[in-house]
Amino acid sequence: MGPTGPTGPTDPAGPTPPDTAAQRPTPRAPEVAHAAPARKLATGRRGPADPVKSLMHRHRELCERAVDPLEIAAGLEAHGVTDRTAARYRHRDVFSLAEELFARVPAVAGEPVDASCTPARDIETRAAWSLRALLPGAACLATFVALRLTEGVLDGGARLAIGTGGGLLALIGLALALRTGPLCADGRSSGAAGLFGCWLLGYVLYGDALLHQVLSGGPEGPWDITPAPLLGLAVAVAPAAWCAHLFSVHAHRKLNGSRALEEFAAGVRPLLFAAVAFFLCVLGGLLYLAGLGIGSGGSPVGAAALGVLLLLARLLTVHGFPEPAATGLAAACAVEAAAPALVLAGRLPGLDALARPVDALVAAAGTGAVPAVACGAAALGLLTTATVALSRASAHTAA
């Protein structure tokens, strides 16, 4: 007979360990199950000597909602944590620090991420937003063809109605193109940015002729329009969508393959420059073809600068930086509006000096120099901003 204790026989195998199932962390989703072994990392770091514990509590919500360590790394970077900061937590970079946080913080069930604005991977989705991106160009082209066919057949009122209807269709098509796909800003775009964009597009159509009349002593009555650059810009919406898509896809691949923030930034900057350069080449060809089909008029250089400006503004807005995008558009609008205003103000007694900069610029390069300078300077500023902002890992992860 075995030994007995005060309350009865003693089990030779020892006391049964308590059930610890309730203490187990919530498992991650199946698609990130490959990261589950990482939860055994550094489990011995506990107590006051644990340097990661304070960071873990500070960013617990971020870590609980993350679906992979990359999302935690991007969130830490957005809060100012750099690779140098990670060294204070005994890690070589932010990515390895994020892996430990992902392993140590249990996940919680969250709302599914809306993938409507993420880079599309299936052919049907890419075809859908590609067709929507073609709508503005198709509407403008159909309108110009209708106006050309009805020239001398319909009166001015009917042709005005055709042009107005075509313009509204083009705006509706543009709105549809910006609601889904790689140009989708997911509600981050402001109404002011839309107004600035409409002003810039309107100046492409009417601005050069208006400035010419103001410089000639007018304005006097209606002035001619320059539709060719507007047609080129409308057709260029589809190439812009594809450039934004390719930039986003390759940036995500760089993020998955990078092990340091500096390495990722160095790999993303050439992608941005390549996307902008490729779009500029395509836009230049479209503007040339539009000029051949409709006729000369307007400033192709100014239209090309405007196209790059709009692309950069949209990229910044899509990736979470709508404020600098709106600022760049507003600056271009201000310069274009200031040109005729300064000429008119120069007619007042003693204020003729106000018109001299515009007179000198137009005398040197024509009225098209004003939108070229306005949009070109704004585009250069946004390119500088995008080089810094879009080279951050936090700009390429879903919120």
**pLDDT of the residue at 301:** 92
Higher pLDDT, 135 or 49: 135
**pLDDT of the residue at 380:** 97
Higher pLDDT, 345 or 81: 345
Q: pLDDT band for position 70 (50/70/90)?
A: low
Q: Is the pLDDT of residue 181 over 90?
A: no
Which range scores top for mean pLDDT: 34-38, 189-193, 222-226?
189-193
**Is the Cβ–Cβ distance between 370 and 343 less than 8 Å?**
no
In the predicted model, what is the mean pLDDT of residues 31-37?
40
Q: Is the pLDDT of residue 218 over 90?
A: no
**Is the Cβ–Cβ distance between 104 and 39 less than 8 Å?**
yes
- CA–CA dist 14, 329 (Å, integer): 75
Question: Any idea what the Cα angle at residue 273 is, between residues 267 and 277, rounded to 5°?
Answer: 145
**Is the Cβ–Cβ distance between 237 and 140 less than 8 Å?**
no
Cβ-count burial 321-352 (b if 16+ within 10 Å, e if not) = bbebbbbbbbbbbebbebbbebbeebeeeeee
In the predicted model, what is the mean pLDDT of residues 181-209?
87
In the predicted model, what is the mean pLDDT of residues 216-241?
87
Q: Is the pLDDT of residue 361 over 60?
A: yes
In the predicted model, what is the mean pLDDT of residues 206-232?
84
- CA–CA dist 5, 115 (Å, integer): 64
Q: pLDDT band for position 154 (50/70/90)?
A: confident
Higher pLDDT, 22 or 164: 164
pLDDT averaged over every residue in the chain? 79
In the predicted model, what is the mean pLDDT of residues 307-320?
94
Q: Is the pLDDT of residue 2 over 70?
A: no
- CA–CA dist 112, 395 (Å, integer): 19
Q: Is the pLDDT of residue 356 over 80?
A: yes
H and E: helices and strands count for the chain? 15, 2
Higher pLDDT, 357 or 13: 357
Q: Is the pLDDT of residue 3 over 70?
A: no
Cβ-count burial 34-44 (b if 16+ within 10 Å, e if not) = eeeeebeebee
Q: Is the pLDDT of residue 73 over 80?
A: no
Higher pLDDT, 281 or 256: 281
What share of the chain in percent tops pLDDT 90?
Answer: 39
Q: pLDDT band for position 333 (50/70/90)?
A: very high
Lowest-pLDDT range, 13-22, 71-80, 83-92?
A: 13-22
Say which DSSP state 36 is in.
G
Write a three-state SS string for 246-267: HHHHHHHHHHHHCCCHHHHHHH
Q: Is the pLDDT of residue 172 over 90?
A: yes
**pLDDT of the residue at 396:** 80
- CA–CA dist 54, 33 (Å, integer): 26
Q: Is the pLDDT of residue 182 over 50?
A: yes
235: buried, middle or exposed (CB in 10 Å: 19+, 13-18, 0-12)? Answer: buried
**pLDDT of the residue at 195:** 92
Q: Is the pLDDT of residue 113 over 50?
A: no
21: buried, middle or exposed (CB in 10 Å: 19+, 13-18, 0-12)? Answer: exposed
* Helices 369-389, 191-215: inter-axial angle, 10-degree rounding: 150
* Token pair listed for 340: 């005729």
